[in-house]
Amino acid sequence: MKIIEVNNLTKSYGTNHVLQGVNFHAQSGEIIGVIGKNGAGKSTFLEILMTIKQYDAGTVIVLDENIASLPMNRLEQIRKQISVVLQPTQFYKTLKVEELLKLFKAYYNSNLDIKKIIKEFKLEPHRKKYFDKLSGGWKQIVSLAIVFLSEPKLLILDEPTTGLDPHMRNMLWTYITDYNERTGGTVILTTHNMDEIELYCDKVMLINNGMNEVFDTTESILATGYKSIHEFYLKKVSI
């Protein structure tokens, strides 16, 4: 099932042409990495997919709906099927982990069992701790647990492992890939960690000079002679 279809997408801020004719598609169950230098337009692209930023021209279809022509009530229905984890993570400082989970369970009207979520995400030692007192890694784990309460069809992650040690990065990716396998959900993320792209992503899109210069499977990219996605990235952005 096609989750996203983007054709000839353009977006400018004054004379700054951030996106220039971007084409993109995502199927159910895919994990897709979006890479590029800082300021390349990655965050703008994700915000358009989230339906929170307008664009200048092109077509953006999310969950079989052309988002440019949707009435607000239908747009809200689409947004309920999208979950997002951004950097930096911020939640209510005065709430404990278990309280946050219960709050968002009610907000999402979720049928998932909070005790099961706590067990699956290994949050038992932290459930009575204030969110603000957690390490950066555990804040990201809790954020992921919260968005899973909505059982999203599309999960968007903006640099989810920035600043995390290798152990916490591995834990976070375990939960992301498990979600992907269990639900057939689609994951789209930005990251500067090219090893994560190579290890976990089915496809990668490189945004360079406002265009999707490359959009292909990681296997196909490596088959062209690059030793790693890291080498591919450095050679492409330095041209």
pLDDT, tens digit (0-9, with 9 covering 90-100), for 56-92: 999 999 999 999 988 999 999 999 899 998 765 666 7
Supply the pLDDT for residue 239. Answer: 57
> Could you tell me which of 90, 85, 83 has the C-alpha nearest to residue 131?
90
Strand 186-190 relative to strand 154-158: parallel, antiparallel, unpaired?
parallel
Supply the pLDDT for residue 209. Answer: 86
Burial of 116 (0-12, 13-18, 19+ CB in 10 A): exposed
Burial of 13 (0-12, 13-18, 19+ CB in 10 A): exposed
Higher per-residue pLDDT: 239 or 116: 116
- 162 pLDDT band, cuts 50/70/90, is confident
Supply the pLDDT for residue 163. Answer: 82
Supply the pLDDT for residue 89. Answer: 63
Supply the pLDDT for residue 122. Answer: 92
Segment among 138-142, 154-158, 162-166 with least mean pLDDT: 162-166
For tokens 């929170």, what's the residue?
52
What are the structural domain ranges in the chain? 1-80+200-239
189 contacts 149 by C-beta, under 8 angstroms: no
CATH ID of 1-80+200-239, from 3.40.50.300, 3.40.50.1000, 3.10.105.10, 3.40.50.970: 3.40.50.300
What are 168-195's pLDDT values in tens digits?
899 899 999 988 888 889 999 999 999 9
What are 25-48's pLDDT values in tens digits?
999 999 999 999 988 899 999 999
Q: Give the tokens for residue 205.
A: 């899109």
Task: Check: pTM over 0.85? Answer yes or no.
Answer: yes
What are 82-137's pLDDT values in tens digits?
999 876 566 677 899 999 999 999 988 899 999 999 998 999 999 999 999 998 88
